[in-house]
Amino acid sequence: MSNRGFFHFSALPMSTRMVYTMTLLVLGTGYLFAMLQVFFSHAGLDGNDKNISAQDIRIAYHGSESDTRLVAALKGPMAGMLPESERAVIFKWVDSGAKQEVFESDVKPIVQERCLACHDGSNPHIPLLTSFDEVSKVVARDTGATIPTLVRVSHIHLFGITFIFFIVSSIFTHAYMRPLWLKCVIIVLPFLTILTDIFSWYLTKWIPGFAWFIIASGALMGISFTAQWVISMWQMWFYTLPPDIEECGGVLPVLGRKSN
């Protein structure tokens, strides 16, 4: 097996290893903050802010599939405010897309008669229901992240994460690892998972089940980052190549410091 061009960490100058070490330390800290950021921006979307769940991820990209505030209120505390037949009219209006024309013709009269006694602004703690715009606010369905938001975050991630893994895996190329295919898999994985991660955002917006692809992509990327970080740091400072391997790159072959 040819090892031309492969230099193990132990063959690198102290100053180069210092550059690599400090870069890994700062990028490792950055990764921890990225994890915190993921937690703070997603945990709690499903009503439980103690942890982050697949449901949180689904809601972030796809939106909530549970009822709108209006329907939830009419099934719950507001159920007794109007007869069943009128309630059905409102449900039908929401299901058919909450259009303004239908609101003006079918829903507004009901709301005026049944709801405005309280929802006319006299009580500032309950939603105003005096106009189409006001009622729309309690009907708006949570549709998750918008496409422009996803596009913005996509390009930032594609550029930013590629930079980070270019640096980390360039450092990691100096590690000795067998089988070689495993080393290659660890290197390739983050570049593949950034693509699957980002495409899964759009798929999740459409089909919520793809949240699992986002989670799997993130997990694989994290495993790869951790493996590259730990193996690089360890081999840079605490590892001695086995003697039978040393000739294959532990020492600069071009300088002939080890010959056989």
CB of 116 to ligand HEC, least distance (A): 8
**Near ligand HEC in 149-178, by CB under 6 A:** none
Query: CA 35 to CA 257: how far, in whole Å?
Result: 44
**Near ligand HEC in 81-140, by CB under 6 A:** 81-82, 111, 114-115, 117-119, 126-127, 138
Q: Which CB, 117 or 230, lies closer to ligand HEC?
A: 117
CB of 105 to ligand HEC, least distance (A): 17
Q: Which CB, 107 or 161, lies closer to ligand HEC?
A: 107
Q: Which CB, 18 or 118, lies closer to ligand HEC?
A: 118
CB of 56 to ligand HEC, least distance (A): 20
When binding is defined by CB under 6 A, the residue of 78, 168, 186, 214 that contacts ligand HEC is: 78
Query: CA 215 to CA 63: how far, in whole Å?
Result: 17
Number of residues that bind ligand HEC (CB under 6 A): 17
Query: CA 218 to CA 212: how far, in whole Å?
Result: 10
Q: Which stretch binds ligand HEC (CB under 6 A): 75-83, 98-106, 191-199, 230-238?
A: 75-83
Query: CA 260 to CA 254: how far, in whole Å?
Result: 13
CB of 127 to ligand HEC, least distance (A): 5
Residue of 64, 28, 29 whose CA lies nearest to 45: 64
**Near ligand HEC in 52-71, by CB under 6 A:** 69-70
Query: CA 205 to CA 142: how far, in whole Å?
Result: 11
The answer to whether the beta carbons of residues 2 and 241 sit under 8 Å apart is no
Query: CA 122 to CA 115: how far, in whole Å?
Result: 12
Q: Which CB, 106 or 247, lies closer to ligand HEC?
A: 106
Amino acid at residue number 56:
D
CB of 17 to ligand HEC, least distance (A): 59
CB of 132 to ligand HEC, least distance (A): 13
Q: Which CB, 81 or 164, lies closer to ligand HEC?
A: 81
The CA angle 127-132-133, to the nearest 5 degrees, is 65
Cis peptide before 179 (omega within 30 of 0): yes
**Near ligand HEC in 229-248, by CB under 6 A:** none
Query: CA 87 to CA 81: how far, in whole Å?
Result: 9
User: Residue 90 CB: number of other CB atoms within 10 A?
Assistant: 24
Query: CA 4 to CA 11: how far, in whole Å?
Result: 13
Q: Where do contacts with ligand HEC occur on this chain (CB under 6 A)? A: 69-70, 73-74, 77-78, 81-82, 111, 114-115, 117-119, 126-127, 138
